[in-house]
Amino acid sequence: MKKIVFFLLFLSFFHLSCKKNSDEPVSTPYTTPSQTGFSQVSFGPSNPGNLTMYRYVPSSLSLSAPLIVVLHGCTQVVSDFSQETGWNTLAEKYHFLILYPEQKAQNNDNLCFNWFIPEDQTRNSGEALSIKYMIDEMKSSYQIDSAKVFVTGLSAGGAMTLVMLSLYPDIFAGGMQVAGVPFKSATNVNDAYNARNGLVDKTAAEWGVLAKSGYPGYTGSYPVLSVFHGDQDSTVVIKNLTEISEQWTALHNTDLTADLSDTVKGFNHAVYKNSQGKAVLETYRLTGFGHAYPIDPGTGEDQGGAIGLYTQDANLFASYYALKFWGIITN
C-alpha cells in the first residue's frame, strides 16, 4: 500500500538545507484572459493520484501559449514555491501558462511526490495520470501550443519531472530538473534511499532501457532536458548528475562527450547534441551549492526569484535559463 509514512527517509531525503540582452518571447500576439493570477481549479474525469491542481494565468497571454508544469519538492506547498522560484513573474513577462500540481499529506506525510512507487511511475496510472489530466484541463481551457509543453521540478519534484518526461514523451517538448535522480532509479523505499545517496549505478545503455520502458513501443522524439545540481548537495548527491546524463544521452542515442563545455555565471555548463545537431541535454554543475533551487534576486533581464527555505542565491536564475534552453526566450 503506497499511502504509508516515510517521515524519516524523506525528511532526510528532500528537506532542503538551507545586466543583459533584451529578450523577447517567441509569440507576439496577446489576448487578455477572463481570469488571471493564481487559483485552485478542479480537473479531469478522475484524480487517481489524489493531487490538488493550481494554475497561474498571466494578465496577457500568447494566442498559442506555452504551458509549464512546475513540481514542488518535499515539505513544500505551491503558494510558497511559485513565488520563490520566480515562475509567476516570468509568466507575466513572457506570456505563458503555469500548472502547479500539489501533493497531499494523505499521500505522503512530507508532501513528496511518490516518484519511486510503481503505480505512480507508470503511464496512465496514479499521480502521473493525475498530472496528465491537469494538463488536459489546461488545454481544454486555453489555446495552448501542444509543441510547447514543459515540466520542471526540485528534488522529489525533480524526480517526478523525469517520471513525466519518460511516461509522456508524446506530450512534453522538454524539462528542467533541479537536484533530482534518474527515472526508475527506485521502485521502493530502500531504492529511493540508495538513489539519493548515489548508490544506484548503471550503464548508459541500462538507463536508456529504463527510460524507454516508460512508454513501450513509442517511436517519436524524446523531450530535451536541462539539469542543475549542486556539488555540495548532501541530500541528493552530485553522482546523480552523471547518472541522469547517461540516461538522457542514451535516450537520444548520443554519446557522453559534451559538444559544448563552457561556464555560465562561473558554473560548469555542458551541452550534448544529437546527430542532427540539436541540443538534447544541458547540465549545470553548481560549485559550492547545496540542496536548493538556484535563483538570482534582482531586476536584471536574467535575474529573479526570492530567498526562501527552498531557494538559494547562486547568481544564476535557473527558471530563466530553462526558458532559454526551451526556446521560449530568444535573444
Q: Which residues are catalytic?
A: 155
- Looking from the CA of 49 toward its CB, the CA atoms found within 13 Å total 34
Give yes or no for a contact between 226 and 294, defined as CB atoms under 8 angstroms apart: no
Q: CA 13, 165, 172, 98: dihedral to nearest 10 degrees?
A: -10
Joined together, the cell numbers standing for residue 187 give: 521502485
What element of type H or E holds 307? none
Three cell numbers written together for 68 = 509549464
Residue found by looking up cell 514543459 in the block? 150
How many whole angstroms separate alpha carbon 163 and alpha carbon 185?
Answer: 10
The three-state DSSP-derived secondary structure of 205-257 is: HHHHHHHHCCCCCCCCCCCEEEEEEECCCCCCCCHHHHHHHHHHHHHCCCCCC
Which residues have CB under 8 Å from 224's CB, separation 6+? 173, 174, 175, 278, 279, 280, 281, 325, 326
Find how far residue 76's CA is from the centre of its chain.
15
Is residue 271 within 8 A of residue 321, CB to CB? The reply is: no
Cell 522560484 belongs to residue: 85
8 A C-beta contact, residue 97 and residue 138: yes
Neighbours of 83 (CB within 10 A): 16
Q: How far is CA 272 from CA 71, 132, 158, 259, in A?
A: 25, 28, 20, 5
For cell 500540481, the residue is 101
- In 3-state terms the chain splits into helix, strand, coil percentages (rounded to 5) of 30, 25, 45
